[in-house]
Every structure is written in C-alpha cells, then in structure tokens.
Amino acid sequence: MSKEETVAKKQGSRYTVRVWRQAGKDKPGQLVDYQVDGIIPNMSFLEMLDVLNEQLTKEGKEAIAFDSDCREGICGMCSLVIDGVAHGPHSGCTTCAVRMRDFPSGSTITIEPFRAKAFPVIKDLVVDRSALDKIIAAGGYVSVNAGAAPDANSILVGKESADRAMDAAACIGCGACVAACPNASASLFTSAKITQLASLPQGQPERKKRVKAMVEEMDRLGFGDCSNHGECEAVCPKEIGINHIAQMRRDYLMATLAP
Amino acid sequence: MTTFTGALRSSLGKKYLMGFTGLVWVGFAIGHLIGNFLLFAGREAFNGYAYFLEHLGHGMLIYVAEAFLALTILIHVANGINVAVLDKSAARPVGYQVKGNARGRTQKGLASQTMIWTGLTILGFLVLHLVTFKFAYLWEQVPDYKFEGTNIMTRDLYSVVVRRFSEGWYVGLYTAVMLLFGMHLKHGVWSAFQSLGLLNKKTTAPMISLAWVVSIVLSLGFLFLPVTVFVMNESFASPAGGLHL
C-alpha cells in the first residue's frame, strides 16, 4: 500500500454497499453486501465503486460490472438506482457526478440496476438500453433536405423555439426517466427527442410522421404508460421538463386527427 | 396510417381517454355540488330542482346525461385498471427492492401512487350512493311531495337525503370517502390537462395549484353537507326543511 493510499484509508469513511449481483441475462440475481473503506468525501460515486472493485479483485472475487464512460456527466452511459432513486440523491446530475459527501459516513447504500422490461439486465448493474436507440431509429432524425450551411443563417428560428429545442436536445439518453417512472414509461425520453425536432423549421416536413412512428415504437418495445407522476423530470440529469410530454401528446393527437 | 381510433389504443390514447373522462366527471361533480346546496334552501327548493332535472327535454335529457356519465366512468375505470395493474407489471416485471422518491420537481406522492385505490373506493361509494339516494324508491318507502300551490306530485327526495344524513355511520363513511375523493382530484385534475396535452412550461405549476384548490373545494364542499345535516338535523327535518339558525 502506497503512502497516499494509507492516508486515504485513515481519513476515509466506511460504507456498507448492497449491490445487485447477477451473473448474466435471464440469470437469477440478488443483493450482496460489501464493506468498502477509505472513501473520501470528494470521490464520485463511481470512484467509490472503483475502490470497491479493486478491493474485490485483491480478494480474488469478481468485480462488479457497471456502465461508465465520460465521467463528467455528459455521455449518458452511467446509470444505477441508488437507494431507490435513479442517478442518486443529488438532483440534476448523473451518477458519475454524485459525490460521496452526499452519503453520511457509515451508512448503507443500496445499488440496483435500471429496471424495465425494455431494459434487460446484462450483468450486475449493466442494462441494455438499446431500446432507446430503436425509438430514435423510428423517426428521430430529419431525412429531407434541410438545406446547406448558408441556410442556417437564412432560416430564422425564434428565441422561444430555439430555447425549447435546446432544452429537449439536452437529453443524453441515459434512461433515468424510464428507471424512475413507477410505470417504466419512456415518455420523457421520447417526447424530448420529438419536440427537439418539432420546435425547429427543419423538423416540420416530417413532424406528423415522426411523432406517430416514435410513439408507436415506444409502445411496441414494451415501455409502460405515463401516469404523470413527474418523477422522470425530477431525476433527469439534464432537468428536461414534462412540458415536452404534453407537447408530444398534442402533436400525436393532431397527427392522428388531421394526418 | 394511424387513425384516431387506432391512436386511442396507444399508450397516449389511454391518457386522452383518462383525462377526458376524468374532466367530464369533475364537471359533473361541480354541478352536483352546486345542486346539493339547495338542501339549505329547504324541501321545496331541493325537490323542485330534482323535478326540474327529471323533466328536462320532456324527461329525455336526464337519460342521455346518465348514459353519457355511465359510459365515461366505464372507460375511466377500465383504463385505470388496465394502466395501474396490468400494464404497470408488464413494463417492469422485476421491481426495485428499495423504493425512493427523488427530491425537487416530482409530483409522485401518496395521491399519485394511490389513484387506483382511491378510484376504486370512489367507485364503490358511487354504487352505494346511487342505491341509497337515486334508487331508494325501489327498496324503501319514499313519501310523496306536493309542490306548494300546485297539484304536481313528486317523490320527496329531500326526506330521503335528510333521513340518511341523520345516520352517524353513513355520515362518517361519506366524510372519509370525500377526503379520498379530494386526494384523487389533487393528482387527477392537473393530470387530466397534462394528459390531453393542454399544458406547457408556464401553465403546469399554476394548474397544479388550481388542482389543489379544486380538490379542497369539492372534497370539503361535499362533506360539509352531510355533516351539517347531521348536526342540525332538527332544522332540516322540519316540514319546510333547510337550515334555520
């Protein structure tokens, strides 16, 4: 153990971490308790898991599988439901940006994977979120000629529309909305992807076709019904509002009433 | 090509139906509450109002209204059970071991999570309510009432209501259900507008506040009547009826 590590171990806190362990897809799983030492308050939640994994590796046990990539809150790769809340107790941030100072020293932390029929567990805390990609593939793009670079300056977009589009475009597709929804609905994700394009001139030619295709794909993939709990908005690391869901409902109604 | 009827079967269609039928019943509840306050005006006024409703449009309109209300509540209940029981477990077959609520802008709470239970309780109460008031004449003696200065006879619905509200157990039950009804409306009213796609970033928060007001007014309004009739039973049971202080 290096000097630095010894100091960290002395200063750091100890936590009991209850982690969902599952060997593979469709295998049985269970919560397993681990003790982790030497956690300093400024460590991120994923760094705490890294420390735990190093500890497990040294003990000859299998490391816990979890998703991560950028670790700066912008890629949408990390997930985890921490003590029953997707992306943990800190609002407006992803799991990787949650710091251990949010958890009292010595406390027990339960970590479960995102749960939904459309998000099957692959291993431990890793789930397959490709269903979200399928919703985008159903129509979350502009396939007509939207002009070349100079047209960006000639097609004017109002401030309110630009802001709405930008708010929706902030979605990083992490799937926390689905995980947090008591019904496992993907309404917030789908609506963000729809209104992002519906708010801009480039999205207009395919607007009706898009909303129908994406909503129907969302249903087909086995996501649940929205009950307006608004929990999705509260856990969304990008704080995307349920006003986008209302917009999606308007658009879908109009698309089916006046195709 | 998706048609409108096809769209009603989608997950969003369920929301449109739920929101619309819910608002129909909120509208009915508001009208019903205003009508109920005629109990304070006395026997003549209350029975006159019942007579007026029963004879609207040559006595046909009430059947149209009843059929519409029956259809909408059927859709509301069937959809509610479908969403809260069947779809919910299908979309998340394996649940969380630890349940938590996010802080901040969430509307998830006791009211939103018990919609199915408060709803089914209200449905059960509705059946009891119809049996004890609307269809009371089928199973108990309902006296006749002759309007003052006329030869028009009608059932004395006023006496049925006042007699029922003199029973403590019924008033207690009524009060408890009206509090649950308020809880159902607290999440239901704003949620209906959201479901119909009528809200935006600016209107969501005011609508949530308005839903609070509507739920409190309707809940307390409905339970105010039986409690008052129970407490002031002597005044209400007098021949002229109504509330005399």
CA gap B123, B80 in Å, rounded = 12
ipTM higher than threshold 0.85 = yes
Quick check: is B98 in a domain? no
Domains of chain A as residue ranges with CATH: 3-122 (3.10.20.30), 129-257 (1.10.1060.10)
Residue A107: both structure tokens together: 């406390």
A222-241 pLDDT, tens digit per residue, is 999 999 999 999 999 999 99
Chain A residue closest in CA terms to B204: A243
Total number of domains constituting chain B: 1
Minimal Cα–Cα distance from A20 to chain B, Å?
10
* A54: closest CA of chain B, how far (Å): 26
A-chain residue closest to B205, CA distance: A243
Task: Count other C-beta atoms under 10 Å from residue A141's C-beta.
Answer: 12
Residue B3 inside a domain? The answer is no
Q: Which residue range(s) make up the domain with B61?
A: 12-84+113-237
How many Å apart are CA A9 and CA A3, to the nearest integer?
10
Is B10:A215 a contact under the CB 8 Å cutoff?
A: yes
**If you average pLDDT over residues B226-243, what whole number do you get?**
90
CB contact under 8 A, A85 and B115: no
Structural domain includes residue B99: no
Encode pLDDT of B13-33 as tens digits.
Answer: 999 999 999 999 999 999 999
Q: Per-residue confidence at B66, pLDDT binned at 50, 70, 90? A: very high
Q: Looking at A169-178, A246-255, B100-109, which range is the least confident one? A: B100-109
User: CB contacts < 8 Å between A and B, how many?
Assistant: 162
Please say if the pLDDT value at position B163 is more than 80. yes
Write the CATH number for B77.
1.20.1300.10
Tens digits of residue pLDDT in A181-218: 999 999 999 999 999 999 999 999 999 999 999 999 99
Least CB–CB distance from A85: residue in B16, B91, B102: B102
Give the gap in angstroms from C-alpha B7 to the nearest C-alpha of chain A: 7
State how far the Cα of B110 lies from the Cα of B107, in Å rounded to an integer: 9
Q: How confident is residue B232, by pLDDT bands cut at 50, 70 and 90?
A: very high
pLDDT at A36 over 90: yes
A89/B10 Cβ within 8 A:
no
Average pLDDT over residues B156-171: 93
Q: Is A224 on the interface with B (CB under 8 A)?
A: yes
Contact between B102 and A223 using a beta-carbon 8 Å cutoff: no
Is position B96 within any domain?
no
Q: Tokens in use for B143?
A: 């006296």
3-state helix, strand, coil in chain A (%, to 5): 40, 15, 45
CB contact under 8 A, A212 and B2: yes
Q: Are A22 and A114 in contact (CB under 8 A)?
A: no
Q: How far is the C-alpha of A48 from the C-alpha of A141, rounded, in Å?
A: 38
